[in-house]
A and B are shown apart, each in its own frame.
Chain A
Amino acid sequence: MAQEHGPFIVLSPQPEFFPQGGVLAPRLDTLRGKTIAFLDNNKLQPHNRYFDLLGHLLQEREGVKAVIHAQKPFFTRPARDEVLKPLMTQADAVVTGVGE
């Protein structure tokens, strides 16, 4: 334990290490000519066209070459290799998130 002197010492409950590789991918210099993938949790209603509209905007305004829309099998199930591996080989960047 590192010795820091104070009148009253407590220990941090926060994590001190994370998985190797668990870091953000290198940022793209530009979106122009790139392939961007969205990975959604398959919870949004089918008539919700959020990702379609966002993809169109990226292509029109930013010169994105192609957009891939991938889905988890279901929102309570993790995305497996058959979903993730194509994105790793085909996309320059993948956008995902938590909640919705």
Chain B
Amino acid sequence: MLIKPLTSTTIPVDDPIAAIELFMESGWTDGLPIVPPTPELVQRMVGDYDPQEFIGYIPPKYGGATIEKLAINAVMAGCKPAYLPVIIAGVKAMLTEIFNLHGVQSTTHMSTPAFVINGPIACALNINSKAGCLGSGFRANATIGRALRLVMMNLGGGIPGETDKATFGHPGKYAYLWAENEEESPWEPFHVERGFRAAESTITAYSCEPPHNINNHAERDPFQILYGIAGAMKGTGHNNFYVMGDTMVVLCPEHAVSIAEHNWRKRDVKYYLWEKARQPLRELKYNGMYGAEYKKNFWPRWVDRDNEETLAPIVRTPDDILVFVAGGKGRHSVFIPGWGTRAVTQKIEV
């Protein structure tokens, strides 16, 4: 087929090391060295795509994202060409209105988009869903996640301390991507729950804090396991109790299997957590944005704001608790508080 030309501005430098230093000095990296995006590497990354295909404008800078620009940032991150469809879908997910990337990129909150992969592409690309999947050491997880961060910085202008106003940020801003451990999950995969076919692949974008570990080696009973998880979710200070939106629990396979052995479905897990992860208004009024004006918080109407003993739920409905299964052996699950918006699941076109 006819190869369409690249049109990005070319930059001559002395050698690859000079390119790395130039990108560092220009603020075009996440603080780590990049792979210099030569025309040859970018063309290889673009492959059969039209490099000028327009994907969208990335807020808050609203730089135009074409396949070529995504490919440049993917090369910089160390991606293989086979990863590009995941990056394209991840960007599309972030650009939906309900995701509110403008707010995510510019808030003082620490949140950053996390990405969860479902479907056969996770295995095909070796996206880790098992031991250490939220940590370091896996090329696909690290470089696809990093590419999406570089897109947010270079095309979206999410520069820390400038338009990215995060008071702290968190380590997930380098890369925050894993796959669901569908193989060891006792339930239907997350994307099937959302109406996709099991044979399709998806990426779910979710703006959130870092994961909070929940250690439970003692219990096999669903009530006891989930009671401990609800206890972690009840911690005050995270956004969900005030802003609602979506929240996320990632169960390790051992916890999930123990729960499922008692014939609990994923829906039962959500309902139980929604019932138990609650706080009386008297505990919540000292946190969040409003202090004494705490009645402005986004609680459902059925929460009686005139009674401080009323229990407010962590999110509006059980379905707003996103439940995944991931991780390796061991009895540790995680709770990942949200920023207060919706997770978006996008099909990966391959």
Enumerate chain A interface residues (CB-CB to B < 8 A): 1-19, 22, 43-46, 74-78, 98-100
Contacts and interface: CB of A to CB of B under 8 A. Distances in A.
Interface of B: 5-16, 18-19, 22-23, 28, 36-39, 42, 57-58, 60-65, 68-69, 72-73, 76, 97, 100, 102-103, 106-108, 150, 154-155, 163, 165, 243, 245, 289-291, 293, 296, 298, 339-341
A52 to B, nearest CB: 16
A7 B103 contact: no
Nearest to A43: B289
B16 A9 contact: no
Nearest to A72: B103
Contacts of B39: 1, 9, 11
B107 A1 contact: no
A50 to B, nearest CB: 14
B13 A8 contact: yes
B42 A11 contact: yes
Judged by DSSP, the binding face of A is loop
B63 A10 contact: no
Nearest to B298: A74
Contacts, number: 138
Q: Which of B8, B15, B298 has the most CB of A within 10 A?
A: B8
Contact of A16 (B9, B73, B108, B291): B9
A5 to B, nearest CB: 7
Contacts of B64: 15-19
Contacts of B339: 76
A45 B293 contact: yes
Contacts of B340: 76
B102 A99 contact: no
A15 B69 contact: yes
Q: Which of A4, A9, A19 has the most CB of B within 10 A?
A: A9
A99 B108 CA distance: 6
Nearest to B36: A10
Contacts of B154: 13-15
14 contacts: A1-B6, A7-B13, A7-B15, A9-B39, A10-B10, A10-B38, A13-B23, A14-B154, A15-B58, A15-B63, A75-B107, A75-B289, A76-B100, A99-B106
Contacts of A13: 23, 28, 37, 69, 72-73, 76, 150, 154-155
Q: Which 9 A-B pairs have the closest CB atoms?
A: A6-B12, A15-B63, A99-B165, A98-B106, A12-B9, A76-B340, A11-B8, A17-B64, A13-B154
A42 to B, nearest CB: 9
Contacts of B165: 98-100
B100 A46 contact: no
Given A8-B12, A12-B8, A76-B339, 19 more contacts: A5-B12, A7-B15, A8-B13, A9-B39, A10-B10, A10-B38, A11-B11, A11-B39, A11-B68, A15-B61, A15-B63, A16-B8, A17-B64, A19-B57, A44-B289, A45-B293, A76-B100, A78-B103, A100-B108
A11 B19 contact: no
Contact of B6 (A11, A19, A98): A11
A1 B5 contact: yes
